[in-house]
Amino acid sequence: MRFSSACDGPLVYAKTDNDCLSVFGVNNSSSLTSVILCYKDHGSTLDLLLEDSGVIVECNVKTMDALEVLDFNFAGSRLASKVIIRSECMREIFSELDVTSDVLEISIVPPTMPHPRLRLTTYGFEGTTHYDFPRDSDLVEVFECSNTEL
């Protein structure tokens, strides 16, 4: 499985990202792990900065160019959405997605639509798999969407 991105962006394999997110363990419910994801520019690494109980870990994941170029023309757009999800659930969620899928699709259903949510979708040999984060879920800390259509 790999993440897809817009505008000639890089691909990052989800297993590598999942390994980085689990650096503090998978069953550590006594503390909260924070993560910041940064991608600076074409050819840069995907940087994950994780903090748990004062311990900071930086993971720099190499990226690669997508085989086909997708032109979404985001150059003139403003920030359309912002969703912050509690990190402790992400390992389990990534493990439930279909690993035979080549693409992880990330979409947001805005508050103007029924059941606003962040949706992760994979398309694999077993069919289509969706994982939804409803806007009112305890896992969602921030759900902002300025556009009515995404």
Q: What is the phi-psi region of residue 127: left when phi exceeds 0, alpha when psi lies from -120 to 50, beta otherwise? A: left
For 45, residues 6+ apart whose C-beta sits below 8 A from its C-beta are: 39, 60, 61, 62, 63
Residue 31: predicted pLDDT: 66
Q: Is residue 63 part of a domain?
A: yes
Q: Which residue has the tokens 């690993």?
A: 99
Residue 73: predicted pLDDT: 59
* CATH number for the domain that contains residue 108: 3.10.150
Residue 149: predicted pLDDT: 45
pLDDT tens per residue, the chain (150 residues)?
333 333 334 444 455 555 566 655 655 556 677 778 788 877 788 888 888 888 888 888 887 666 655 555 555 666 667 788 887 777 778 777 877 888 888 888 888 888 888 898 888 887 888 889 898 988 888 888 776 544
Q: Is residue 138 part of a domain?
A: yes
Q: Is residue 150 part of a domain?
A: no
Indicate the number of domains in the chain: 1
- Domain membership of residue 125 as a residue range: 2-145
Residue 27: predicted pLDDT: 57
Residue 145: predicted pLDDT: 78
Residue 144: predicted pLDDT: 80
What amino acid is encoded at 54 in this protein?
A: G
